[in-house]
Amino acid sequence: MYIPAYTEVKEHTRLIAFMKSYNFALLISNFKEFPDITPLPFVVTEDHQKLKLITHPAIVNPHWKNLDENKNVLVLFQGPHCYISPDFYENKVNVPTWDYKMVAAYEKPKIFQEREKHLNLVHSMLR
């Protein structure tokens, strides 16, 4: 993803706050010829300063079965976006653009199937 240097945010706390605010994100992974993409709600936490993104796809969704714990997935958190007309700029030579906020997180997935962990996750998602 192209990120102009003047718009890039590197502050850990701001990135986490964004992910928590816009926690309905896209889980994207490679499978065979085409990527698997599933929109899911995520619980965003930190454990010993390690970021955890936890979600629960439906058991009938084949996406989770295709995940490889040795390959990175992408979780794409998308926030507000809008069209910016050149009329908004002081310098009228500018071109139109689309302004948006987005955080991309890459990590290897860890799949758990313990009933208690699932129940705790579902309860935390409903709070």
**pLDDT for res 94:** 78
Taking only the tens place, the pLDDT of each residue in 40-87 is: 999 999 887 889 998 988 889 999 988 999 999 999 999 999 998 888
Rounded to whole angstroms, the Cα distance separating 113 from 73 reads 19
Show contacts of 119-125: CB within 8 Å, 24+ apart: 121/43, 121/54, 121/55, 121/56, 122/56, 124/43, 124/54, 125/41, 125/43, 125/56
Q: What percent of the chain has pLDDT over 70?
A: 99
Q: Work out the pLDDT band at 101, boundaries 50, 70, 90.
A: very high
Q: Token digits for 93?
A: 């030579």
pTM of this structure: 0.85
**pLDDT for res 6:** 85
* Domain 5-125: CATH superfamily, name plus number: Electron Transport, Fmn-binding Protein; Chain A (2.30.110.10)
**pLDDT for res 118:** 77
